[in-house]
Chains A and B, each alone.
Chain A
Amino acid sequence: MVSLLQEIDTEHEDMVHHAALDFYGLLLATCSSDGSVRIFHSRKNNKALAELKGHQGPVWQVAWAHPKFGNILASCSYDRKVIVWKSTTPRDWTKLYEYSNHDSSVNSVDFAPSEYGLVLACASSDGSISVLTCNTEYGVWDAKKIPNAHTIGVNAISWCPAQAPDPAFDQRVTSRSTAVKRLVSGGCDNLVKIWREDNDRWVEEHRLEAHSDWVRDVAWAPSIGLPRSQIATASQDRHVIVWSSNSDLSQWTSSVLHTFDDAVWSISWSTTGNILAVTGGDNNVTLWKENTEGQWIRINYESGTAIQSKQPSHLPHSHSQQQQQAPQQHQQQAPLHPGPSSDSEHSSNLSNSQLSN
């Protein structure tokens, strides 16, 4: 069912932390601890089309803007900066804007739905969230900050899709223009918070408590218009929780998607909002789908069928099912999986001894 289109050797000199395809699926952007962002053609495994250098630390995440604003990419880094890049041709990238008003590492960036214009939200370890709005006409950026959004730090941020106008009031254009901007954020205080823009201010609308450790990623499901909203959150506590609400977003109910073997730190919804991809510390990528009974089932890459029905006591089963999944995992990781080498152990020991002084 899932076909591998391309395998791209990023040639980054250090760990890659995020990779994202643009809207059309033509360009791939990757970011790495080597401080660079690289742009690739998604259909050819060639050398990088461009290497964007501007960060002085590991780059944690990249985000593409909607193509109606042009080829625009945002990146955030440990060096406390957010850089918005713009390209004329895929090889030609220039810094459009640099935002350095955070006091600590910026961990996550996300562009707002295109209906709101060119708006970028940034989450930082200094505990605050910035919302950067670009006046596309003049190219002026305006920053709004939510201070103390999460104590200790904000790890992830995601926009609510542009709300469908309420059918009952659908007669006029006005209902559309008054669509409320919302954000969801997850932080080190184990909380997930929903923020609503209220007269140029961002107010905390909801506070979702269920995780018992840092929330590592949040993702608001894209909406195709159905009167419901879903948010997936991944946490260090090895849980992925899916929060659901009806269209008015007043009540949120949580259901644990699965308890993973290791911390979960990256989740993504498919466009139609019915498939969730999850990965975490164990480096396994799994795909999950909600069945008609509202249960989350893991689906097999190749056949698209369910692998594992979600059971509260999944442990005795999970092992065999893991193995069932294993060949394909193996296939995916095989090229990058050399055995532990004595050399690496050695250098690790060396670094240990460096410490003791």
Chain B
Amino acid sequence: MPPTETLRPGERGGAGGSATGGPEQTYIIRQSNKYYEHRDSQATAMSVDYSGQWVLLAGRGHLALQRLGQDDGSLRRHERQSKYEVSVAEFAICPSRKEYCAIATSQYIDIVRWGTSEPHYEMSLRGHTRTVTDIDWHGKDPNLLVSCSIDTFSHIWDLREPRKPALSLNAVCMSGATQVGFNRVSGNLLAAAHDGDLRIWDIRKGSCPTHYITAHLNRVHGINWSHKRETCLATASQDGTVKYFDVCNPRRAEKIITTMSPVWRARYTPIGNGLVSIVVPHLGRGENSLLLWSNSKQTDPICSFVGHTDVILDFAWRPNHESSSEIELVTWSRDRTLRVWKIDDNMLKLCEPSAEEEDSRFEPDLSELRVPTPPELLHPRSILVAASLPISTGDGACNTLPMARSPSFGGYYRREEPHIARSLTDQPTCSLHHEFSLLNTNMPHVEVDTLDAIKRYACFKICAGGHTVILQVTFATSYPSPSAPPEFQLCQGTTLSSEVSGVLLKVLRCNALQRVKKSRTCLEQCLRALVAAMKKKVAAVGGADRSQLHLQSPRLEGALSSTLHDACIPYPRTSGVHFNAIGMLTTFAQPVNNKRLTLRQHTALTPRTFSSINGSGLLGNVMATAQREANASFYLQERMISGKPGKQRAIRQMNGSPVVHIYDTSSLLHISRSMAREFSLDKLNIAETCRKNGELCRQHGRLDLVPVWLLAELIATPQVPHESLNELLFYKDPFKKSLLESLIMHYASSGDIQTAVLLACLFDKCPTGGGAIMEMAVRLPPQLNSQISPYHTVLPLDAKSSSSSNTWQQLKQLRSNSWSDSLDLEVKQVQSDAYACSLIRRVKVPLFDQFKRAYAEILFGWQLLSKRALILKHTQNMPPPIQGVEFVTECGTCAKPKRTPKCEPCKRPVLFCVLCRLPVKGAANACLACGHGGHMDHMMQWFEKHKVCATCGCKCLERTAELLALLS
């Protein structure tokens, strides 16, 4: 077939045309300049080499080279043996490697060098675990190429080091990479498509993507970087759009070309300002259009290249060596023809922004051409017409569509009413059409039944929450002006009660009104709101499974499942360490080969993700993950599939089952249970105690501690004769104080908490004077203490608090139970003086108490409970959190709540006994109702004989019991 060129008559550059009046747009329609037919070729991939002379057609059974420019039409064929299709083939784009090409089959990439007679397989790049989906050569560095795969990785290969990828880009996501492309300007940026999303990587920083672009609602089929602007790229997607992005502004596309059908490829022209896209028709019928667009005008294509009768598989640019201002387009289609199209100067000029302004010069020549053509007349001319029509969309084009489109071309437009279409050339139609075209037809739960922009109505079928709603929406002509919300109607087939229907309609109207008030379109929002409302209704009734509903949304599923993905789960630990509270160390480490067994990448380092273990066919599939979860034996699964049933057992025996070791590290931690048991804290003769403890250390081999106890003994020994009688002198010794402190601090910070705490306890309080009392206190077990005094301090009797509400307020305040209260008078005395006669400065006491508590916890772990209690007795009282009623007394003078028998600032006792009228210091009791009380002994005596309060006649016993019952 000779190259033909069909130019539609028109003014502009000998091309172009227009339809009957109005803002009609049109474009050039071209047939191919050259045409090669290869009926027996089953090539699935095509590539043009650097020189533009050779075209590679690669298929499962053969590689074939077609020489362009010579009209012999014969192929150089080379058989190859593979059971897999060639997924992609790419010639190197740098001149120094022009005879090289990369051919991806299954998960491997072969680098083939074309010699004079036949191809040489130079190397095979193996790194992907699943099918390689795309390859791209680096534009500047002839050694680099990038490949991407369903396994979600994009690998950058250096041909000088083909054994493993030079860089692996791990897109942590659910979906495999479908497209990849190096930036053409700098070569540093790289874009990879994962479903509808793009990840932009900087290969100088390969750890994570620099940008994420949520580009399309559906799978991206093509990525192409601009040849001029570093950060710009165009993407083609299943959702029928081509989007221009600037990666610096990933939030929204700069421009969008909308077509009716999925777009398979979109590539910038290497020169000029254009872009060529392949549109793949639904159901494989008609309109295999190859369109040239201007980058500055997205509404209409500049040119349509027609001739292919089946899906165009790929296209490539062929530099025209005669003229630098012209390029050629080489296409390979499933109709097994290779076509070459010339894109000349004129066409490229049309792509320039300036050329498009002159709309007025269109002539109505195209009108007769656009007579509906029956689809069965599939001779080239009719294809030309059919192919040229439905692809142009947008405001301008929508008028022509209803007329030209035959009924078989889909249900979006009703051809029967062309007159309506003509009459409605005003803006609203367009915006309604525009809204329809933008409507996401893949909304979860929503099926689009009819979208009729002409009759201005739409029908939807919504299935959510177990109910079906047939919704008809009618749009007024003035929609979406503020006063004209669309009308909603639930049609036959709706399975809701009228009551619920009313609610749902209200939801719809509310949503619609909110949007149209601002003159915005509302259809999609309304539909979403309806779905949400339906779900809620049903959830309220039956409690539908939320997670399942969630998973039905493809977007959500994407987001959710990406987190399910093993690629974000860290690699399982094969070894571990754990210290418990008392210094026992647990360790385990599994044999190395057990681990390596399941690894597929033999890298030096342990991989970081779980997916590297079974990064197999299961990857990228939620369902498979779920199945695997059900399998109890996890890493052995693969082996079990491969082998006999008994094999698992065999492998386990071979590797040995995991062993855990338990070590006692307490000596590393300088703590010892046996020493803790024997240490003495006898304070009657501290020097003697120190000597004993030193001896103990010697016995247990802690010779390093012997001198310390010797020092301690010296500290405890009075320097001046009879000093012990004059305590003040003894405890004021500044040298001893700081020596002791630095000793304790040294041992605490070096981790020998045992020694630090023993020293701190031993010199905690003065040994003499209060010694006898201390002994007594020490002998009292704490539990006993708390039994002695269930309620201690008592409410004061001033008028203010006797009103019931106040009493309640105060009752709610919690009160400390007390350890010290029972020790009463004398111990209080001792404590107040304890700081004065202690070698430990007051500021250090809280810190040392912390040490003691930490040590007590270790003693608890050792189950040396009495030792623990002994240590805890040397801490300041830190009562456990109170559970129960607490009385707080209030000072009569300063009206502040007090927890002590005496108000320190006022120098007044706060509580007086109602019976003896004397201040109460010790155990006290009071009525919860009237607040009267006093010494516990007196109260007990009184209530042995009486039933009512001595002061106010309140039935204290009964009411207190009632209140306590209430509180509990």
B21 within 8 A of A: no
Residues of B near A281 (CB, < 8 A) are: 571, 574, 605-606
- Taking a contact as CB atoms under 8 Å apart, the answer to whether B654 and A155 are in contact is no
Known: A152-B172, A153-B569, A275-B751. A10 touches B657 (CB 8 A): yes
- Taking a contact as CB atoms under 8 Å apart, the answer to whether B581 and A336 are in contact is no
Q: Which residue of A lies closest to B628 (CB)?
A: A57
Known: A16-B588, A283-B592. A4 touches B661 (CB 8 A): yes
- Taking a contact as CB atoms under 8 Å apart, the answer to whether B638 and A354 are in contact is yes
B559 to chain A, nearest CB (A): 10
- Taking a contact as CB atoms under 8 Å apart, the answer to whether A267 and B592 are in contact is no
A205 to chain B, nearest CB (A): 22
Residues of B near A350 (CB, < 8 A) are: 638-639, 642-643
Option from B565, B629, B654 in Cβ contact (under 8 Å) with A79: B629
A235 to chain B, nearest CB (A): 9
Option from A14, A40, A277 in Cβ contact (under 8 Å) with B634: A14
Type the 1/0 row for A260-273, where 1 means its CB is closer than 8 Å to any CB of B.
00110111111111
- Taking a contact as CB atoms under 8 Å apart, the answer to whether B597 and A6 are in contact is no
- Taking a contact as CB atoms under 8 Å apart, the answer to whether A355 and B617 are in contact is yes
B554 to chain A, nearest CB (A): 17
* Distance in angstroms between the alpha carbons of A25 and B582 in the assembled complex: 7
* Distance in angstroms between the alpha carbons of A55 and B669 in the assembled complex: 36
A21 to chain B, nearest CB (A): 4
Residues of A near B578 (CB, < 8 A) are: 18-21, 266, 268, 277
A106 to chain B, nearest CB (A): 10
- Taking a contact as CB atoms under 8 Å apart, the answer to whether B635 and A104 are in contact is no
User: Which of B591, B632, B643, B748 neighbours the largest number of chain A CB atoms within 10 Å of its CB?
Assistant: B632
- Taking a contact as CB atoms under 8 Å apart, the answer to whether A17 and B573 are in contact is yes
B667 within 8 A of A: yes
- Taking a contact as CB atoms under 8 Å apart, the answer to whether A351 and B591 are in contact is no
* Distance in angstroms between the alpha carbons of A2 and B662 in the assembled complex: 10
* Distance in angstroms between the alpha carbons of A60 and B582 in the assembled complex: 23
B771 within 8 A of A: no
* Distance in angstroms between the alpha carbons of A216 and B581 in the assembled complex: 22
Q: Which residue of B lies closest to A266 (CB)?
A: B576
- Taking a contact as CB atoms under 8 Å apart, the answer to whether B651 and A212 are in contact is no
- Taking a contact as CB atoms under 8 Å apart, the answer to whether A338 and B591 are in contact is yes
* Distance in angstroms between the alpha carbons of A57 and B172 in the assembled complex: 21
Q: Which residue of B lies closest to A10 (CB)?
A: B658
Residues of A near B670 (CB, < 8 A) are: 272
* Distance in angstroms between the alpha carbons of A103 and B595 in the assembled complex: 27
- Taking a contact as CB atoms under 8 Å apart, the answer to whether B569 and A34 are in contact is no
Known: A3-B664, A125-B563, A343-B654. A267 touches B634 (CB 8 A): no
Select the stretch in A85-93, A164-172, A193-201, A317-325 that faces chain B: A164-172
* Distance in angstroms between the alpha carbons of A56 and B628 in the assembled complex: 9
- Taking a contact as CB atoms under 8 Å apart, the answer to whether B662 and A8 are in contact is yes
Type the 1/0 row for B605-640, where 1 means its CB is closer than 8 Å to any CB of A.
110101000001100000000000110111110110
* Distance in angstroms between the alpha carbons of A287 and B598 in the assembled complex: 29
Tally A residues with Cβ within 8 Å of B. Answer: 120
Q: Which residue of B lies closest to A114 (CB)?
A: B857
Select the stretch in B26-34, B497-505, B513-521, B845-853 that faces chain A: B845-853
Residues of B near A223 (CB, < 8 A) are: 850, 854
B671 within 8 A of A: yes
- Taking a contact as CB atoms under 8 Å apart, the answer to whether B629 and A57 are in contact is yes
- Taking a contact as CB atoms under 8 Å apart, the answer to whether B634 and A22 are in contact is no
* Distance in angstroms between the alpha carbons of A17 and B578 in the assembled complex: 12
- Taking a contact as CB atoms under 8 Å apart, the answer to whether A34 and B654 are in contact is no
- Taking a contact as CB atoms under 8 Å apart, the answer to whether A344 and B658 are in contact is no
* Distance in angstroms between the alpha carbons of A273 and B915 in the assembled complex: 57
A140 within 8 A of B: no
A42 within 8 A of B: yes
Residues of A near B592 (CB, < 8 A) are: 283, 337
B591 to chain A, nearest CB (A): 5
Known: A23-B580, A213-B608. A265 touches B586 (CB 8 A): no
Known: A9-B657, A25-B861, A357-B617. A292 touches B608 (CB 8 A): no
* Distance in angstroms between the alpha carbons of A107 and B671 in the assembled complex: 33
Type the 1/0 row for B645-682, where 1 means its CB is closer than 8 Å to any CB of A.
00110111011111111111101111100000000000
Q: Which residue of A lies closest to B581 (CB)?
A: A23
A residues 251-295 in Cβ contact with B at 8 Å = 262-263, 265-275, 277-285, 287, 289, 292
Known: A5-B662, A42-B662, A271-B582. A214 touches B608 (CB 8 A): yes
- Taking a contact as CB atoms under 8 Å apart, the answer to whether A214 and B570 are in contact is yes
Residues of B near A275 (CB, < 8 A) are: 579, 665, 668-669, 751
* Distance in angstroms between the alpha carbons of A292 and B747 in the assembled complex: 11
B residues 800-827 in Cβ contact with A at 8 Å = 816
Residues of B near A227 (CB, < 8 A) are: 847
B843 within 8 A of A: yes
- Taking a contact as CB atoms under 8 Å apart, the answer to whether A155 and B570 are in contact is yes
Residues of B near A338 (CB, < 8 A) are: 591, 593, 654-656
A90 to chain B, nearest CB (A): 16
Residues of A near B858 (CB, < 8 A) are: 271
- Taking a contact as CB atoms under 8 Å apart, the answer to whether B660 and A19 are in contact is yes
- Taking a contact as CB atoms under 8 Å apart, the answer to whether A21 and B580 are in contact is yes
B residues 826-871 in Cβ contact with A at 8 Å = 843, 845-851, 853-855, 858, 861-863
Residues of A near B588 (CB, < 8 A) are: 10, 16, 19, 30
- Taking a contact as CB atoms under 8 Å apart, the answer to whether A15 and B657 are in contact is no
Residues of A near B129 (CB, < 8 A) are: 355
A315 within 8 A of B: no
* Distance in angstroms between the alpha carbons of A304 and B664 in the assembled complex: 12
Known: A224-B854, A277-B577, A347-B642. A16 touches B590 (CB 8 A): yes
Residues of B near A78 (CB, < 8 A) are: 569, 629
Type the 1/0 row for A296-327, where 1 means its CB is closer than 8 Å to any CB of B.
00010100100000000000000000000000
B700 to chain A, nearest CB (A): 14
* Distance in angstroms between the alpha carbons of A9 and B598 in the assembled complex: 23
- Taking a contact as CB atoms under 8 Å apart, the answer to whether A267 and B569 are in contact is no
A residues 44-89 in Cβ contact with B at 8 Å = 56-58, 60, 64, 78-79
- Taking a contact as CB atoms under 8 Å apart, the answer to whether B753 and A336 are in contact is no
- Taking a contact as CB atoms under 8 Å apart, the answer to whether A2 and B654 are in contact is no
* Distance in angstroms between the alpha carbons of A266 and B106 in the assembled complex: 38
* Distance in angstroms between the alpha carbons of A117 and B605 in the assembled complex: 41
- Taking a contact as CB atoms under 8 Å apart, the answer to whether A103 and B580 are in contact is no
Residues of B near A17 (CB, < 8 A) are: 572-574, 576
B758 to chain A, nearest CB (A): 14
- Taking a contact as CB atoms under 8 Å apart, the answer to whether A15 and B572 are in contact is yes
Residues of A near B598 (CB, < 8 A) are: 348, 351
Residues of B near A105 (CB, < 8 A) are: 569, 610
Type the 1/0 row for A328-343, where 1 means its CB is closer than 8 Å to any CB of B.
0000110111111101
Q: Which residue of A lies closest to B854 (CB)?
A: A224
Type the 1/0 row for B435-462, where 1 means its CB is closer than 8 Å to any CB of A.
0000000000000000000000000000
- Taking a contact as CB atoms under 8 Å apart, the answer to whether B651 and A19 are in contact is no
- Taking a contact as CB atoms under 8 Å apart, the answer to whether B569 and A104 are in contact is yes
Mind listing 26 A-B residue pairs with CB under 8 Å? A3-B667, A9-B657, A11-B657, A15-B635, A16-B660, A18-B576, A25-B584, A30-B658, A42-B584, A57-B629, A125-B570, A177-B881, A188-B568, A224-B748, A270-B668, A271-B582, A271-B671, A279-B577, A282-B606, A338-B591, A347-B651, A350-B638, A351-B641, A351-B642, A354-B641, A355-B129
| Chain A residues within 8 Å of B, Cβ to Cβ | 1-25, 28, 30, 32-35, 40, 42, 56-58, 60, 64, 78-79, 103-105, 107, 125-127, 152-153, 155, 164-165, 167, 170, 173, 176-177, 188, 190, 212-214, 216, 222-227, 236, 238, 262-263, 265-275, 277-285, 287, 289, 292, 299, 301, 304, 332-333, 335-341, 343-345, 347-348, 350-352, 354-357
The 8 closest A-B pairs by CB, nearest first: A225-B850, A281-B606, A274-B751, A351-B638, A350-B642, A283-B589, A277-B577, A21-B580
In the complex, given contacts A279-B576, A355-B107, what are 17 additional A-B residue pairs having Cβ atoms less than 8 angstroms apart?
A: A6-B662, A13-B633, A21-B580, A21-B584, A23-B581, A23-B582, A23-B861, A25-B581, A107-B570, A126-B563, A153-B563, A155-B570, A225-B848, A267-B577, A335-B656, A351-B641, A352-B600
